[in-house]
Amino acid sequence: MTQTSTWFISDLHLDAKRPQMVQAFMQFLGTVPGQASSLYILGDLFEYWIGDDIVDSPSGQLVKPLLAGLKQVSDAGVKLYFTHGNRDFLVGERFTEMTGCELIPEKHMIELDGVPTLLMHGDTLCTDDVEYQELRKMFYDPEQRARFLSLDFDARVAEANHLRKLSGEKMQEKSQEIMDVNQQTVEQVMLEAGVTQLIHGHTHRPNIHDFDLSGEAAKRIVLGDWYEQVSSLKVQNGQFNLS
């Protein structure tokens, strides 16, 4: 493999509760230099991230080696990019400094082997889940964010745990269709961006969907989660290897 390969991962949901996946991620990082020229992390790298000062908390024991692992990859010359997921949208400057990751916006355009490609986490495509979108609006509100970040660490942990429990209960009540992307929203977002190729995560349904977008052949690639296995998309010379 040459150095022109572009890799994508998302939805690792790294957490002390799944130490084997933390281990698997460290091993995965070791394979990046020499094989990939860039690695895109499309959100939900962490199960939760309640502010960059998590590094100084007891959870820092889990987090610090991961950040150091990323930094090693970046120091080896691989370009690292990170976009927020709904679990780690509070990742900030300190994370980027400690890892060498460049923070990219919610919707980010790249040229992928010559094809304009839109990158997203993907939660904003799930517009059938009206309740989730309302909650998201609230969480992402700058005032709410500032309020949350002003709480002391333990209060943030308590609030985050409460919200995770609540969202877990809600998810059990919802149908699989509601929690998937809405095709109309996908097409609208792609047409607005002027792309025929979209890569996202969030839904944990790895797949390559080919469809017709206003008369043009379009592709939507969905990344897989890391709950039980390593999952990545490796792209080289326009060839997609989703595993």
Q: Which is nearer to Mn ion, 181 or 235 (CB)?
A: 181
In whole angstroms, the minimum distance from the beta carbon of 166 to Mn ion comes to 16
In whole angstroms, the minimum distance from the beta carbon of 10 to Mn ion comes to 8
| SS3 category, 53 | helix
CA distance 206 to 221: 7
E runs forming strands in the chain: 5-9, 36-41, 79-82, 102-103, 108-112, 115-119, 197-200, 207-213, 216-222, 233-236, 239-242
Q: Which is nearer to Mn ion, 47 or 102 (CB)?
A: 47
CA distance 202 to 121: 6
Comparing every residue's Cβ against Mn ion, the nearest one is: 202
Q: Which is nearer to Mn ion, 213 or 242 (CB)?
A: 242
Residue 213 phi, psi (nearest 5): -115, 100
In whole angstroms, the minimum distance from the beta carbon of 16 to Mn ion comes to 19
* Cα separation of the two ends of the chain: 17
In whole angstroms, the minimum distance from the beta carbon of 2 to Mn ion comes to 32
Q: Residue 89: which of 63, 50, 127 has the closest Cα?
A: 50
Q: Which is nearer to Mn ion, 78 or 220 (CB)?
A: 220
Contact residues toward Mn ion (CB under 5 A) are 44, 85-86, 202
Buried b vs exposed e over 1-40: b needs ≥16 C-beta within 10 Å? eeeebbbbbbbbbbeeebeebbebbeebbeebbeebbbbb
CA distance 209 to 35: 26
**Neighbour tally for 152: CB within 10 Å:** 8
Q: Which is nearer to Mn ion, 106 or 113 (CB)?
A: 106
Q: Which is nearer to Mn ion, 83 or 86 (CB)?
A: 86
Q: Which is nearer to Mn ion, 28 or 132 (CB)?
A: 132
Take residue 108 and report the two structure tokens written for it. 């980010």
In whole angstroms, the minimum distance from the beta carbon of 179 to Mn ion comes to 10
CA distance 29 to 26: 5
In whole angstroms, the minimum distance from the beta carbon of 3 to Mn ion comes to 30
In whole angstroms, the minimum distance from the beta carbon of 11 to Mn ion comes to 6
